[in-house]
Amino acid sequence: MTQAERAALVQAAYQSIARGSQSFAAASRLFAPMTRERAWLLYAWCRAADDMTDGQELGGAAAAVQEDAQAAHARLVALTDAALNSDAPVPAPFAALRLVASETHMPGAFIDDHIAGFALDAADWRPESEDDLLRYCYHVAGSVGCMMAVVMGVDPAEREVLDRASDLGLAFQLANIARDIVPDALAGRCYLPVQWLKAEGLAEADIPLPDHRPKLARMAQRLVELSRPYRASARIGAAHLAPRSRLAVLAADAIYGAIGERVVRRGESAWEERVRTGAAAKLGLFAGALMRAPFAPTYAPRTGLWTRPG
């Protein structure tokens, strides 16, 4: 690949992240240049894979009914395989994966784990228990945390650092689920464990109904409370990263953590409009991350936390 071709892929990846995730785009600016480019390349594939599965574009509203989710997933698997195991032409997001996997020697197991999360969505899967929920969060986000750690230079043999990178992905996904409980339900998706719903006397069909917002607020708070020890674990792991990568991770943790905490504060009104962090709030969160970055948090073992397989 020529330098011009690489630059074109990086630019296309940046356009994807700039439109699909303003929070991640902002945090990624803190990375060193090569790490930033590789993060964008990885994001482009993750975004495309998610969009193919949900029948959406750049993280917009998911289709209420995906025309053929299994066929879309089969195409995702085939294009990913072609990107990683051949020189055949592939769409830009898959060429981006090919490039970043080659440049970082990305373990294929992390890519496979991420695709397994899309397979769950394509199968219209539902979590029965909290453990099921955390397993799903690993596949769709914790595995991305592991891949991002490799992009940031972490040796794939450093098990504990990668476990803590996975923890950050889990925390992000739990905050996202809390924020999107009602929109997900309207799109035919539910990530609240069946056991939680039963404990509140709810069925999945009840979620969009306004009368049940107090119960949804309790479950959203439960999701955010569940995320907090994983965020704390991830901050310990971030101390092993290069300074700019550590700062970017701490900034991303602050932004996504703020989203979850804002959902909790809004309570029953959390789904009247989508919870976001504005530019001024991001600036303040970045400043806080900058102040914390030079200081390693007190070490604590991951006792009691869900742990990725392998």
CB 134 within 8 A of CB 106: no
Q: DSSP string covering 225-265, please?
A: HHHHHHHHHHHHHHTTS-HHHHHHHHHHHHHHHHHHHHHHH
pLDDT at 66: 52
Domain for residue 297, yes or no?
Answer: no
Q: Which residue has the tokens 């769409």?
A: 91
Q: How far apart are CA 137 and CA 114, in angstroms?
A: 10
Q: What percent of the chain has pLDDT over 90?
A: 85
pLDDT at 57: 64
- Whether the per-residue pLDDT at 103 is higher than 90: the answer is yes
Q: How far apart are CA 3 and CA 20, in angstroms?
A: 25
Weakest mean pLDDT among 20-24, 48-52, 86-90, 215-219: 20-24
Q: How far apart are CA 258 and CA 176, in angstroms?
A: 11
140 DSSP assignment: I
pLDDT at 63: 47
Domain for residue 286, yes or no?
Answer: yes
- Whole-angstrom distance between the N-terminal and C-terminal Cα of the chain? 33
CB 64 within 8 A of CB 208: no
pLDDT at 286: 86
Q: What is the pTM of this model?
A: 0.93
Which whole-number Å values give the CA distances from 143 to 47, 66, 279, in the listed order? 14, 24, 28
Decide which of 309 and 63 is more confident: 309
Domain for residue 132, yes or no?
Answer: yes
pLDDT at 21: 80
Q: For the range 297-302, what are the long-range contacts, defined as Cβ-Cβ under 8 Å and sequence gap of 24 or more?
A: 297/232, 297/235, 297/236, 297/239, 299/236, 300/232, 300/233, 300/236, 302/160, 302/163, 302/164, 302/167, 302/233
- pLDDT, tens digit, 9 for 90 and up, residues 249-306: 999 999 999 999 999 999 999 999 999 888 888 889 989 999 999 998 999 999 999 9
CB 260 within 8 A of CB 175: yes
CB 30 within 8 A of CB 152: no
CB 24 within 8 A of CB 36: no
Q: Which residue has the tokens 């630019």?
A: 11
Domain for residue 309, yes or no?
Answer: no
Query: What mean pLDDT, rounded, does the chain reach?
Result: 93
Structure tokens at 277: 């962090």
Domain holding 24: CATH number?
A: 1.10.600.10
pLDDT at 195: 98
Structure tokens at 116: 């397994």
Provide the Cα torsion 142, 111, 62, 222; round to 10°: -10
Domain for residue 301, yes or no?
Answer: no
Identify the domain containing residue 102 by its residue range. Answer: 3-292
pLDDT at 276: 87
Domain for residue 308, yes or no?
Answer: no
Decide which of 39 and 278 is more confident: 39
Q: How far apart are CA 43 and CA 151, in angstroms?
A: 11
Which of 17-21, 233-237, 277-281 has maximum average pLDDT? 233-237
**Phi, psi (rounded to 5 degrees) for 55:** 65, 40
- Whether the per-residue pLDDT at 56 is higher than 80: the answer is no
Question: Which whole number is the average pLDDT over 211-222?
Answer: 98
Domain for residue 305, yes or no?
Answer: no
Count the domains in the chain: 1
Return the exposure string of 248-283: e unless at least 16 CB atoms fall within 10 Å of the residue's CB, then b.
bbbbbbbbbbbbbbbbbebeeebbeeebebeeeebe
Domain for residue 302, yes or no?
Answer: no
Q: How far apart are CA 148 and CA 41, in angstroms?
A: 11
